[in-house]
Chain A
Amino acid sequence: MDGLVKSFGQTTVLQDFSVRLGEGEILALLGLSGSGKTTALRLLAGFETPDRGKILLDGVDVTAMAPEKRGFGMVFQHYALFPHMTVAQNVAFGLESRGWDKARIRTRIDEMLALVHLKGFGERRVSAISGGQQQRVALARALAPEPRLLLLDEPLSNLDPALREKTRDELRTAVRRLGITTVLVTHEQEEAFHVGDRIAVLHQGRLQQVGSAMDLYRRPETPFVASFIGRSGRLMGTVQDGDTGGGDNISDGTVAVSLGAGAIWRGRPAKGVQVEADKQVAAVVRPEALTLDASAQSMGLNGKVVEIRFTGPLIYAVVELAARGQESQGSTPRVDVWVEGDPPEVGAEVRIGLRAAGPVPTLFSPKGFD
C-alpha cells in the first residue's frame, strides 16, 4: 500500500498510508475505533477506492480492480455468513465463483472443515451453530479458494473472552500452516501482539509506527504509541548537561534527565526527538521499569500508594507522586509500579526508583501529548 488517502465528505479517514507486506507475513493493523484501520482494510479489499495512492500486488497495480477480481479472502467482523446456505454451501461459494469442478469442491470443503475442526458440520445451517463455530466457518470460507491475501476484520470481537483466546490460537495456527499473507484489523493489543508478526499502529488516520510487538513496547516512536501500547506513566523532566548528569549522549544512546526533587534518571530519546541540555522532556515509564525496592531508591521519587491493582500474575501499586515542581502539562500525577512480593498498604508513603535491568524510559517532547 503506497500513499493511500481516503476521505468521506469533509473527513479524511486515512492519510498517506504506506505499508509493505512480506510474503507469508501477518500484519496487524491496530488502533482505536475511527483510527482508519478498517478503511485501510476495505481499500485493500476493493470495497472502497482511495482518493490517492496505489495498492500493488507483486508489482501489479490493483487499485482500481473490482473486489471479485482480486483473489483476496476476507473474514468479516460479524462473519457475513450467508444465512440461507449450509456450512458446506458457504465454504463452496467462493470455489463455485471461481469455476472449480464439483469433485474438487467437495474435497476442498472437507479439507477446510477439517482445518477449522468442523468435520461433520457441513450440512448444518449456519444459524444452528455457535458463534465460535460461525467464526471458523467464515475463516474456512475465506481460505477455501486459496486467496493470495487474507483480510481479517476484527474477526474475534464477537466472541466471549475465553473462546476468543482459543480461537485466536487456532486462527494463528491455521494461517501459519497455510503460509498465507494476512492483514488483521483489531483494536485489541493482545490480539495484535499474539497474531501479528508486525503491527502497524494507526491513530486519527495516520500510521504511527510499524514494528514488532517488542519494538512498539520498548521503543515507541510517537507519543500515541507510547501511551496506547501497554501501561505507562509520564514524568516531566529536564535534560541534564554532561557535568550534572554523569555524561549525556553516551554510547548506549541514553541521556540523563532530572525529574526534580534530586532524582536523575536515564532515558532514551524516541526516534526523531532532538535532546539538548535544559530542554523539557516527557519520560514515558513502564511499570516494570519502576521499583519500590530500597536498593534502587537513592535517586528516587517520593509518593503515596493510592491503590493496589491485582491482576492475577502481576500486582501493580498506583503511586501518587509528591510535588516536585515538574507537574507541568503532559505529566501524569500517578504512575503504576510493578510490585514483586507482598504489596504495600494503601496509604503507605513510598519512594520509587528505576530498576537497573528494566526497560529504559523513552523521552518525547512534552508537546506530543497535548
Chain B
Amino acid sequence: MSAGQGSGARHSAGAFAVGFLLLWVVGYPLLLTTLEAFGGGSTLEHFKTFAQRGDEWLALWRSVWISLASVVLAGLVGIPLAFVFERTEFPGRRILGALVALPVALPPLVGVIAFLFLYGESGIITTVLRTALGLDSAPWRLVGPGAILLVHTYSMYVYFYLFVRAALTRLDGSMIEAAASLGAGKVRILRKVILPQLWPAVLGASLLTFMTSLGSFSAPYIFGGGYRVMTTQIVASKVSGQQALAQVEAVVLACVALLALWIIRRFQGEESVTSAHGIAPERRKIRGLGARLGFGVVGWSLAIFMLLPHLTLMLISFVPIGTWTTELLPPVLSWVNYQDLFSQPERLRPMANSLWMATVATFGAVALGFLAARQATRRGGRLGGFIEGLIALPWAIPGTVFALALATAFSVHSPQTLRFLWVGTPIILPLAYLVRCLPITGRSALAGLRQLDPALEEAASSLGASRSRRLLKVVLPLVRPALMAGLGLSFITALGDFVTSIVLYTYTTRPISIEIASALRVQEFGIAAAYGVLLMLISATAFLIWGRGESER
C-alpha cells in the first residue's frame, strides 16, 4: 500500500489514463492489423492465400530454425566465455572481459555492414585469404543462412555471456563448499550445484536471443539475398503493395513470437530462482607460464576478433569512394567521407533526423515508461499486471510487425476511432521508436521502483510532503540511475533502428540507417562506413554517459 490513501480515486484515474494511452499506442495498432488481416473480421481469404503459398511456409520455417540455431550457437560461444572470465584469473581478464561484451554496443545494421566489409566477397579477411592461398575467387560467399547465423552468433552471444557471468557472480561459494564437504567431486558439483543455478540465466538469454533472432531484419536483409525469412518477407510484401498479405504475415510472426515467449516463460516459471546471499567462489588462478601465456594469447586474439568489425568500419570510413579496388589494403586514406557528411546538407539531414527523432522518442519512452511502471507498481493486481504486459509487448513482437501495425493504424484519418494520418509525417517514426523503446525504459523504471523501499515515500509523506514533492524530491532522484540506464539503451536502440524505419520512413525523415543502406546500394562504402562510425561513436558515448547509470548506484 502506498501513502496517501485519501487520493485513491486519483490513483485509479491515473492508472486508467496510463493504461488507455498504452493500449492506444501498443495494443490498438496490433488489434487493427489483426482485424484487417481478417478483412475487417469477415474473411479468412488472406490467410488462405498465405497457407497455400509454399514460400510463406518456407520463410516461416527459416525464421524459426535460424532463431533456434542462433540460440544454440550463441550459447556455445557465450556460456564458455562467461566461465572463463568469471571463474578463472589471468592477466588482462578485466579489460578483455569488457571488450568481449562490445558487440552489445554495436547497432545491428552497423554490425552487419562491418561484417560485410570484413568477410564479404571483397572483404578484407576474404581478400587476405584469397591472396595468401592464390585463389581466383573468394574462398566463401557471405550469403544465405550461414552468413545470417554468423552475424547472429557474433551479436547475440553477448546475452549468454552477460547473463551467465552475472549468475556466476551471484553464485554462493558456501554452497559449493557444502557440496564438497558432502563428498561431491568437481563434475558432480558442476552438474548438481552450479548448472541448476545457472539455468534461469541460460533460459533468460535463450529467450532474448530467440526473440531477437526472430525479429532480426538487418542480417537477413543484407545477407539473405534470395533467402527470405519472415521479417524480410513482410517488408517485401509491403513494398510490392500486397498490404493484406503483409498483415497476415505480421500476424503469423507475432503469434509465433508470443507462442515462443509463452513456452520459454513456462520453463522459467517451473524453475525456482534462488537468490544467494553468500560470497561468490574464488576465481581459479591460472598458474604456470605456459598456461598463462596460452590464456593471454587466446584472450587477446578473441578480443581482436571482436574488435575487428569496429576497426574495419573505421578503416573503410577513411577510404575515398572508388579508390580501393583490387589492392590488399586501401591505397588512399582521407577525411573526405566525413567532410562530405558534414558539408552536404542532404548527407547531414539523416544525422539530424536520427538525432532529433531518437531524442524525442527516448524522452517520450522514459516518461511513459516511468508513468506506466509507477502505476503498475502502485496498483498491482490485474490493472498493474495489464499495464506491465502492455509495456513488455513491443519487446515480444518483432519490430517489422510493429512497424506494419503502426503503418496500418495511422494511415487513416478518423479521429473518432482515434486514428490519425501520421504515416508520411515526421510524427510516425518517433512514435514507432517510442513504442519500440518502451519495454527498455519501462523495465528499467520497474526495476528502479521495485528496488525503492516503500517506506521512503511513506516517510516523506509523514513529513508533510505533497505528491509532487514526494515524486520530485524522493522517488525521481532515487530511481534516476535506473531511468538513465533505460534512457541510454533506449537512445541507442532508437538511433540505430533500421527495422521499423524501413517500413515507415519518408525521404525527408530518413534516418542514418536508411542512408547507410542507400549508400551501400550505390556502392558508396566509405560514406556508409562513416555513417556507421558516427552511429557507433554516438551510441558508445550515450552508453557511457547513461547506460552505466545502474552500476553506479
Do A and B make up one complex?
yes
Q: List 16 A-B contacts (CB under 8 A).
A: A45-B462, A46-B461, A47-B3, A47-B5, A67-B461, A67-B462, A73-B463, A74-B458, A76-B455, A76-B458, A80-B455, A80-B459, A81-B459, A94-B463, A97-B466, A141-B463
Question: Taking the nearest CB of chain B, how far is it from the CB of A365, in angstroms?
Answer: 39
Q: What would 11 more interface pairs be, CB under 8 Å, given A49-B6, A93-B473, A97-B464?
A: A42-B1, A67-B461, A68-B466, A78-B455, A80-B458, A84-B478, A94-B463, A97-B463, A98-B464, A142-B462, A142-B463
User: From B5, which residue of chain A is reached at the shortest CB distance?
Assistant: A49
A21 CB-CB contact with B under 8 Å: no
Contact (Cβ within 8 A) B462 A82: no
B191 CB-CB contact with A under 8 Å: no
Known: A74-B462, A97-B466, A142-B462. A65 touches B455 (CB 8 A): no
Question: Taking the nearest CB of chain A, how far is it from the CB of B150, in angstroms?
Answer: 46
Cα distance A66–B469 in the bound complex, in angstroms: 14
Question: Taking the nearest CB of chain B, how far is it from the CB of A270, in angstroms?
Answer: 37
- Contact residues in B for A155 (Cβ distance below 8 Å): none
A343 CB-CB contact with B under 8 Å: no
In the complex, per-residue mask of A59-87: 1 if CB is within 8 Å of any chain B CB, else 0: 00000111111111110111011111000
Cα distance A42–B477 in the bound complex, in angstroms: 25
Question: Taking the nearest CB of chain B, how far is it from the CB of A69, in angstroms?
Answer: 8
One of B463, B466, B469 near A145 (C-beta < 8 A): B463
Contact (Cβ within 8 A) B463 A48: no
Interface residues in B197-242 by Cβ distance below 8 A to A read: none
Contact (Cβ within 8 A) B6 A64: yes
B383 CB-CB contact with A under 8 Å: no
B4 CB-CB contact with A under 8 Å: yes
B465 CB-CB contact with A under 8 Å: yes
Interface residues in A132-165 by Cβ distance below 8 A to B read: 141-142, 145, 151
Interface residues in B1-57 by Cβ distance below 8 A to A read: 1-7
| Nearest 9 CB-CB pairings of A with B | A94-B463, A97-B464, A80-B455, A80-B459, A74-B462, A66-B6, A67-B461, A49-B5, A97-B465
One of B2, B3, B461, B474 near A82 (C-beta < 8 A): B474
Contact (Cβ within 8 A) B5 A68: no
- Contact residues in B for A84 (Cβ distance below 8 Å): 477-478
- Contact residues in A for B477 (Cβ distance below 8 Å): 84
Question: Taking the nearest CB of chain B, how far is it from the CB of A317, in angstroms?
Answer: 41
Question: Taking the nearest CB of chain B, how far is it from the CB of A99, in angstroms?
Answer: 9
B258 CB-CB contact with A under 8 Å: no
Contact (Cβ within 8 A) B459 A48: no
Question: Taking the nearest CB of chain A, how far is it from the CB of B106, in angstroms?
Answer: 34
B453 CB-CB contact with A under 8 Å: yes
Cα distance A151–B478 in the bound complex, in angstroms: 25
- Total contacting residues, chain B, CB less than 8 A: 24
Question: Taking the nearest CB of chain B, how far is it from the CB of A198, in angstroms?
Answer: 23
- Contact residues in A for B453 (Cβ distance below 8 Å): 78, 80
- Contact residues in B for A46 (Cβ distance below 8 Å): 3-6, 461
Contact (Cβ within 8 A) B465 A68: yes
Cα distance A65–B462 in the bound complex, in angstroms: 12
- Contact residues in A for B7 (Cβ distance below 8 Å): 66
Cα distance A77–B459 in the bound complex, in angstroms: 11
Cα distance A141–B2 in the bound complex, in angstroms: 21
Known: A71-B464, A84-B477, A93-B473. A76 touches B459 (CB 8 A): yes
Cα distance A246–B150 in the bound complex, in angstroms: 101
Question: Taking the nearest CB of chain B, how far is it from the CB of A192, in angstroms?
Answer: 22
Contact (Cβ within 8 A) A93 B478: no
B456 CB-CB contact with A under 8 Å: yes
Known: A65-B6, A82-B474. A93 touches B460 (CB 8 A): yes
Cα distance A49–B466 in the bound complex, in angstroms: 18
Question: Taking the nearest CB of chain B, how far is it from the CB of A336, in angstroms?
Answer: 38
Contact (Cβ within 8 A) A48 B5: yes
- Contact residues in A for B1 (Cβ distance below 8 Å): 42, 47-48
- Contact residues in A for B6 (Cβ distance below 8 Å): 46, 49, 64-66
One of B2, B462, B466 near A73 (C-beta < 8 A): B462
Known: A48-B5, A67-B4. A72 touches B462 (CB 8 A): yes
In the complex, per-residue mask of B498-526: 1 if CB is within 8 Å of any chain A CB, else 0: 00000000000000000000000000000
Contact (Cβ within 8 A) B474 A45: no
Cα distance A47–B6 in the bound complex, in angstroms: 9
Cα distance A81–B460 in the bound complex, in angstroms: 9
Contact (Cβ within 8 A) A47 B458: yes
Question: Taking the nearest CB of chain A, how far is it from the CB of B444, in angstroms?
Answer: 18
Cα distance A141–B465 in the bound complex, in angstroms: 13
Cα distance A116–B462 in the bound complex, in angstroms: 20
Cα distance A142–B463 in the bound complex, in angstroms: 7
Contact (Cβ within 8 A) A68 B461: yes
- Contact residues in B for A45 (Cβ distance below 8 Å): 458, 462
- Contact residues in A for B462 (Cβ distance below 8 Å): 45, 67-68, 70, 72-74, 142, 151
In the complex, per-residue mask of B258-294: 1 if CB is within 8 Å of any chain A CB, else 0: 0000000000000000000000000000000000000
Question: Taking the nearest CB of chain A, how far is it from the CB of B1, in angstroms?
Answer: 6
Contact (Cβ within 8 A) B5 A93: no
Cα distance A353–B4 in the bound complex, in angstroms: 58
Interface residues in B443-471 by Cβ distance below 8 A to A read: 453, 455-456, 458-466, 469
Known: A66-B6, A67-B4. A80 touches B465 (CB 8 A): no
- Contact residues in B for A97 (Cβ distance below 8 Å): 460, 463-466, 469
- Contact residues in A for B478 (Cβ distance below 8 Å): 82-84
- Contact residues in A for B459 (Cβ distance below 8 Å): 74, 76, 80-82, 141
- Contact residues in B for A98 (Cβ distance below 8 Å): 464
Contact (Cβ within 8 A) A82 B464: no
Cα distance A287–B287 in the bound complex, in angstroms: 66
